[in-house]
């Protein structure tokens, strides 16, 4: 992908120090003397060994095969072999090979084999600092920021120790070891950059800024001045970009203009391959991106426009996904600012195509360039432009793609999805092949066939198509798939209105769909999450009526603008962001509440509608009830939850009741697929900051709690018409982006449930017991939506405050 931008940036690409300032000047003079370039270029290639040339050309696949063929056994390889070998693994993102390779290199170094490349004066150069530095970069790419910080610090310390040891031996040497001096300084700079970016991602902005200042103040040596200055300015630019300090980033990237415009092209020409192969030309791209992105953010629009157009003409940009989509997005914004909205829309669509071609959680490019763009911002910008052009249906489709992208990101690290019986082997192989194809396409190894030169190879696209044919629902979890607006409308009931919200950045839009109509209204977005949070906090005290003012305010903000369209007896709501935490039934006017006027159901996104299936008619209803699991701590006991579970079980002819120690995660895995209804009267654990760790607390095989996590749900097979989570909670005070709620409900739907009834907060034990008992009694006479609504209305008469009844919401089939 970045063809040597990381490790090979610190490398020696031949026995000559081709990136030193002195060598560059000498080569330029020789070039003038020769008058012709063909023989000089051939001479340069003949002087470099094959492994160095493959590294320079960025042919990492060929380099990997060459080094492995020379010494098949890793334990038998010398440090010189491992230096090239580990670098190939690093650039190909083969972490399963990289870490053992670095471990072996350190073992070699520990027994004295710490030298590489003959220096023309002293004979060899110590590289004991290389393994921790490359390991730090790998951890940064893998988002293990704590380890990245530790390894980067170790790399800097090891480099300094190697330098001190060399000086002690060569104290009387008049000329310092230029290679060693240069490499140690490069190592320190690179280590500072890794530490800065890692601290930024860990939320330590002040610490990241300290490292940025240390980079800026880094002492430039006499030897290797050009290379060290280039490294310093590169690191400073990327760290400043991450911190949002674009003026500093612009200044740092501007200082690199000489190397980009003259020195690098000359070296690129001299050591480039036959067909334009080169590591150096692609190294320039991030440098240019730093400058033009900083120019755009600092209002140097004309310079940014010219620079972006130059970048878009560069064939190498297509291999830099994290740069490519940001350039397209900003270029579209420039076009829209010039009044060319149709042209801007085309740029935005191209940006989103690039975004949707990337699934990997290995954030390699973003970690290197420092700047991590908000991909959701691209969707929001396009949606706003489409709405301005009155293209509501297409805008709605991109809203759905935005939500699909968020779910794909949430589940990107997961591979063990449950599938229907008989599909396991074939689907597992497709997922493995897809992962391999995407990794190959992202790395952009020139050793691969030429047709695999886009971010997502033709092979990856074909595999995704095969997966969509085999299992469309699973395909929607591992790649963004498009559901047409007309398809959604066709699935709506004649007496139902779909109301979908989209809240991103400064945009808040509500779409209203019926079978024959689509409309969109832009709403006020300011302080929306704060208003939802305040409403929920007011609901905490059932003795107070303070909630009423917030209820009316949110009704006026969210429902009143589309009230004229809400004339059907049923309303399907698709929330977004903080609105996933909103108890919609409790939004009221001075006369009544939404629940008084319509039956409600929710969906995590409209695109799940084609996958919803009703199973109730297939068999006689039976129920599996989990009540008051023994979590190993008396404070978590739910007295009325156990009574509730027992009462619900008595209402069915074929129940299975599991309480206390029997209400375990293992029991669900054994019995879950055999029942029409699943009922959980237990605690929930919800973490908006780590949604995949959210889940239900059940009894463990050993004393204590076991968590049925969101990840577990996507590996579980159910055959349920309804899952009820009656003592669940997402926490009244903490709101986030809704991933925990979306992940949980989507997980149960994927596992095989037609619908879920869940609570947004843990409500009064007795009131919940009454509501749930009424709900199951109603199910014998009406559908789930009406059954829940009537149970809530009945509870509302006895307990008027919405704290007692408004937490419960139906998601899925009505």
pLDDT of residue 663 exceeding 90: no
Q: Is 280 exposed, middle or buried (0-12, 13-18, 19+ CB in 10 A)?
A: buried
C-alpha 65/C-alpha 3 separation (Å) is 17
In this predicted structure, what is the pLDDT of residue 393? Answer: 94
How sure is the predictor about 785, in pLDDT bands with cuts at 50, 70 and 90?
Answer: very high
Query: Residue 433: what pLDDT?
Result: 64
More confident residue, 426 or 511: 511
pLDDT band at 102 (very low <50, low <70, confident <90, very high): very high
Q: Which two tokens stand for residue 683?
A: 């605690």
Tell me the C-alpha distance between 414 and 752, whole Å.
18
Give the span between the Cα atoms of 698 and 735, in whole angstroms.
24
β-strands 623-629, 677-681 pairing: parallel
Q: Are 394 and 378 in contact (CB under 8 A)?
A: no
- Out of 401-415, 447-461, 485-499, least confident range: 447-461
Using the predicted structure, report yes or no on whether residue 9 has a pLDDT greater than 70: no
Q: Which residues pair with residue 756 across a beta bridge?
A: 723, 811
pLDDT of residue 628: 84
403 CB contacts (<8 Å, ≥6 apart)? 576, 604, 605, 607, 742
Higher pLDDT, 703 or 368: 703
Higher pLDDT, 651 or 497: 497
pLDDT value of residue 793: 93
Q: Could you tell me if 738 and 708 are in contact, meaning their C-beta atoms sit under 8 angstroms apart?
A: no
Q: Are 5 and 368 in contact (CB under 8 A)?
A: yes
The dihedral region occupied by 99, where left means phi > 0, alpha psi between -120 and 50, and beta the remainder, is alpha
Closest by CA position to 710, among listed 752, 747, 673 = 747
When computed from its CA atoms, the radius of gyration of the chain, rounded to whole angstroms, is 30
Nearest Cα residue to 134 out of 164, 105, 108, 169: 105
Quote the tokens at residue 377.
């911002």
Buried b (16+ CB within 10 A) or exposed e, 572-591: bbbbbbbbbbbbbbbbbbee
Residue 54 main-chain phi, psi, to 5 deg: -60, -40
Helix (H, G, I), strand (E, B) or coil at 497: strand
- Distance CA(650)–CA(652), nearest Å, equals 5
What's the rounded mean pLDDT across residues 330-336? 97
622 burial type by CB count under 10 A (0-12 exposed, 13-18 middle, 19+ buried): middle
Average pLDDT, the chain: 78
Query: How far, in Å, CA of 671 to CA of 209, rounded?
Result: 54
Neighbouring C-beta atoms of residue 30, cutoff 10 Å: 13
Q: Is the pLDDT of residue 216 over 80?
A: yes
Average pLDDT, integer, range 333-359: 91
Q: Report, as an integer, the average pLDDT of 129-153.
A: 91
Pairing status of strand 655-660 against strand 695-699? unpaired
CB count in 10 Å sphere of residue 102 = 22
Out of 227-236, 347-356, 759-768, give the one with best mean pLDDT: 347-356
Cβ atoms of 113 and 153 closer than 8 Å:
no
Report which secondary-structure segment, H or E, holds 201.
Answer: helix 178-201
**What is the model's pLDDT at position 73?**
92
pLDDT of residue 186: 83
136 band by pLDDT with thresholds 50, 70 and 90: very high
Per-residue pLDDT band at 342 (split at 50, 70, 90): very high
List the one residue out of 59, 71, 45, 75 whose CA is nearest residue 8: 59
Tell me what the mean pLDDT of segment 448-458 comes to: 46
In this prediction, residue 446 carries a pLDDT of 45
Work out the burial of residue 144: count CB atoms within 10 Å of its CB; fewer than 13 is exposed, 13-18 middle, 19 or more buried.
Answer: middle
pLDDT score at 372? 60
Determine the pLDDT at residue 134.
92
What does the buried/exposed string (b/e) look like for 175-187 if buried means 16 or more CB atoms within 10 Å of the residue's CB?
Answer: ebbbbbbbbbbbb
* Fold exhibited by the domain 8-298: 1.25.40
* Residue 585 CB-half CA count within 13 A: 28
Collapsed DSSP state (helix, strand, coil) of residue 480: coil
Band (pLDDT 50/70/90 cuts) for residue 407 is confident
Where residue 321 falls (left for φ over 0; alpha for ψ -120 to 50; beta otherwise) is: alpha
Q: Residue 449: what pLDDT? A: 47
Cα maximum dimension of the chain = 98
Q: Give the CATH number of domain 610-812.
A: 3.40.50.1460
pLDDT attached to residue 454:
45
What is the reported pLDDT for 280? 52
Crossing angle of helices 739-751 and 392-411, rounded to 10°: 80
pLDDT tens-digit series, residues 284-314: 777 788 889 999 999 999 999 999 999 998 8
The whole-number pLDDT of residue 122 equals: 41
Q: Is 369 in contact with 409 (CB distance < 8 Å)? A: no
The per-residue b/e assignment along 663-679, b for 16 or more CB within 10 angstroms, e otherwise, is bbbebbeeebbebbbbb
Q: Which residues pair with 809 in a beta bridge?
A: 758
Give strand pairing partners of 808.
759
Say which residue the tokens 């300011």 belong to.
Answer: 526
Q: Which of 278, 375, 366 is nearest to 325 (CA)?
A: 375
Instruction: Look at 385 and 729; give whichever has higher pLDDT.
Output: 385
Q: Which two tokens stand for residue 596?
A: 């008084």
Q: Which of 213-222, 386-395, 523-532, 734-743 has maximum average pLDDT?
A: 386-395
Beta bridge partners of 656: 624
The residue-averaged pLDDT of 229-235 equals 82
Q: Is the dihedral of CA 388, 393, 607, 553 positive or negative?
A: positive
What is the reported pLDDT for 452?
A: 41
745 has a pLDDT exceeding 90: no
* Residue whose entry in the numeric block shows the structure tokens 């380890």: 147
Pairing between β-strand 507-513 and β-strand 496-504 as defined by DSSP bridges: antiparallel
Residue range 56-93, pLDDT digits in tens = 666 778 888 999 999 999 999 988 889 889 988 887 77
Which one, of 481, 440, 482, lies nearest residue 457 by Cα?
440
- In tens, the pLDDT along 350-378 reads 999 888 876 544 444 555 555 566 788 99
Please report the pLDDT score of residue 258 as a whole number: 57
pLDDT above 70: residue 12: no
**In the chain, domain spans:** 8-298, 337-478, 485-580, 610-812
Among 141-150, 336-345, 595-604, 683-692, the range of highest mean pLDDT: 336-345
Measured over the CA atoms of residue 257, residue 258, residue 260 and residue 262, the dihedral's sign is: positive
* Predicted pLDDT of residue 119: 42
**In this structure, are residues 730 and 761 in contact, taking their beta carbons and an 8 Å threshold?**
yes
What gap in Å lies between CA 343 and CA 376, rounded to an integer? 20
Supply the pLDDT for residue 100.
94
Contact 212, 233 (CB under 8 A): no
What is the average per-residue pLDDT within 131-135? 94
In the DSSP assignment, the letter for residue 101 is H
In Å, how far are 81, 100, 123, 419, 722 from 104, measured between CA atoms?
A: 11, 6, 23, 40, 54
Residue 45 pLDDT > 90, yes or no?
no
Q: Round to whole Å and give the CA distance between 51 and 480.
A: 40
Query: Is a pLDDT exceeding 70 seen at residue 255?
Result: no
pLDDT digits (tens, 9 = 90+) for 596-634: 999 999 988 888 888 887 655 445 678 898 888 888 778
Token reading at 405: 């992208």
| Sheet of 755-759, strands arranged across | 518-522, 507-513, 496-504, 570-574, 599-602, 808-812, 755-759, 722-725, 677-681, 623-629, 655-660
Share of the chain above pLDDT 70, in %: 71
What share of the chain in percent tops pLDDT 90? 29
User: Whose CA is closest to 685, among 702, 697, 675, 677?
Assistant: 697
pLDDT at residue number 764 = 73
pLDDT-derived band at 801, boundaries 50, 70, 90: very high
- Check pLDDT > 90 for residue 424: no
Distance CA 169, CA 157 (A): 19
Taking 60 as the threshold, does the pLDDT of residue 180 lie above it? yes
More confident residue, 101 or 268: 101
pLDDT at 559: 94
pLDDT of residue 363: 45
**pLDDT level of residue 10 (50, 70, 90 thresholds):** very low
530-585 pLDDT tens trace: 999 899 889 988 899 999 999 999 999 999 999 988 888 899 999 998 898 899 99
| pLDDT given at position 303 | 95
């Amino acid at each position: 992908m970045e063809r040597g931008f990381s490790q090979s940036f610190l490398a020696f690409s031949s026995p000559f120090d081709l990136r030193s300032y002195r060598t560059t000047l000498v080569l330029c003079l020789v070039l003038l003397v020769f008058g012709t370039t063909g023989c000089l270029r051939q001479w340069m290639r003949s002087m470099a060994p094959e492994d160095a040339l493959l590294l320079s050309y960025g042919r990492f696949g060929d380099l990997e095969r060459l080094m492995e063929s020379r010494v098949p056994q890793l334990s038998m390889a010398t440090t010189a072999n491992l230096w090239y070998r580990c670098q190939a693994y690093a650039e190909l993102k083969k972490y399963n090979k990289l870490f053992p390779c670095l471990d072996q290199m350190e073992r070699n170094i520990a027994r004295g084999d710490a030298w590489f490349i003959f220096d023309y004066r002293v004979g060899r150069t110590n590289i004991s600092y290389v393994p921790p530095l490359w390991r730090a970069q790998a951890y940064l790419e893998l988002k293990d920021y704590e380890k990245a910080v530790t390894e980067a610090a170790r790399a800097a310390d090891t480099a300094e120790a190697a330098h001190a040891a060399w000086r002690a031996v060569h104290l009387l040497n008049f000329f310092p070891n230029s290679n060693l001096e240069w490499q140690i300084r490069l190592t320190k700079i690179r280590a500072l950059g890794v530490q800065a970016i890692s601290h930024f991602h860990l939320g330590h902005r002040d610490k990241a800024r300290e490292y940025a200042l240390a980079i800026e103040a880094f002492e430039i040596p006499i030897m290797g001045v050009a290379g060290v200055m280039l490294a310093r300015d590169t690191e400073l630019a990327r760290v400043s970009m991450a911190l949002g300090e674009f003026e500093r980033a612009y200044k740092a990237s501007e200082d690199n203009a000489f190397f980009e415009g003259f020195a690098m092209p000359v070296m690129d020409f001299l050591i480039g391959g036959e067909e334009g192969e080169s590591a150096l030309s692609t190294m320039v791209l991030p440098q240019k991106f730093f400058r033009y992105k900083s120019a755009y953010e600092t209002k140097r629009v004309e310079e940014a426009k010219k620079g972006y157009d130059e970048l878009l003409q560069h064939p190498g940009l297509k291999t830099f996904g994290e740069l490519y989509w940001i350039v397209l997005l900003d270029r579209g914004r420039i076009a829209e600012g010039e009044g060319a909205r149709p042209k801007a829309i085309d740029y935005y669509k191209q940006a989103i195509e690039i975004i949707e071609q990337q699934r990997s959680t290995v954030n390699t490019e973003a970690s290197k360039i420092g700047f991590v763009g908000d991909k959701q911002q691209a969707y929001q910008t396009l949606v706003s432009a489409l709405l301005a052009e009155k293209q509501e249906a297409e805008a709605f489709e991109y809203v759905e793609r935005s939500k699909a992208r968020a779910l794909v990101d949430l589940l990107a690290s997961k591979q063990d999805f449950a599938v229907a019986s008989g599909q396991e082997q074939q689907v597992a192989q497709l997922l493995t092949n897809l992962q391999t194809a995407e990794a190959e396409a992202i790395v952009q190894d020139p050793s691969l066939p030429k047709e695999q030169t886009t971010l997502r190879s033709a092979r990856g696209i074909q595999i995704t198509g095969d997966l969509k044919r085999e299992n469309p629902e699973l395909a929607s979890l591992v790649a963004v798939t498009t559901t047409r607006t007309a398809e959604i409308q066709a699935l709506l009931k004649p007496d139902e209105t779909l109301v979908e919200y989209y809240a991103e950045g400064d945009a808040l839009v509500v779409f209203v769909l019926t079978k024959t109509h689509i409309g969109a209204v832009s709403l006020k977005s300011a302080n929306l999450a704060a208003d939802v949070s305040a409403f929920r906090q007011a609901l905490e005290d059932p003795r107070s009526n303070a909630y009423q003012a917030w209820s009316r305010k949110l009704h006026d903000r969210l429902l009143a603008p589309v009230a004229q369209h809400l004339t059907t007896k049923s309303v399907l709501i698709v929330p977004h962001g903080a609105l996933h935490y909103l108890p919609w039934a409790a939004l009221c006017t001075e006369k009544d509440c939404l629940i008084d006027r319509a039956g409600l159901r929710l969906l995590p996104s409209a695109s799940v509608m084609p996958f919803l299936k009703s199973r109730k008619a297939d068999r006689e209803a039976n129920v599996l009830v989990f009540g008051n699991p023994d979590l190993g701590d008396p404070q978590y006991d739910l007295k009325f939850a156990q009574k509730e579970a027992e009462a619900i079980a008595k209402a069915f002819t074929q129940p299975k009741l599991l309480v206390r120690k029997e209400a375990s995660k293992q029991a669900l895995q054994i019995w879950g697929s055999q029942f029409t209804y699943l009922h959980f009267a237990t605690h929930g654990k919800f973490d908006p900051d780590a949604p995949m760790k959210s889940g239900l607390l059940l009894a463990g095989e050993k004393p204590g709690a076991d968590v049925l996590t969101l990840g577990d749900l996507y590996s579980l097979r159910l055959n349920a018409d309804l899952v009820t989570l009656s003592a669940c909670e997402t926490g009244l005070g903490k709101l986030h982006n809704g991933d925990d709620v979306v992940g949980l409900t989507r997980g149960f739907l994927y596992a095989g449930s037609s619908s879920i009834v869940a609570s947004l907060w843990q409500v009064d034990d007795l009131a919940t017991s009454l509501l749930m008992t009424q709900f199951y009694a109603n199910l014998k006479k009406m559908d789930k939506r009406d059954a829940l609504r009537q149970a809530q209305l009945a509870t509302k008469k006895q307990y008027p405050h919405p704290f007692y009844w408004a937490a419960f919401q139906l998601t899925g089939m009505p």
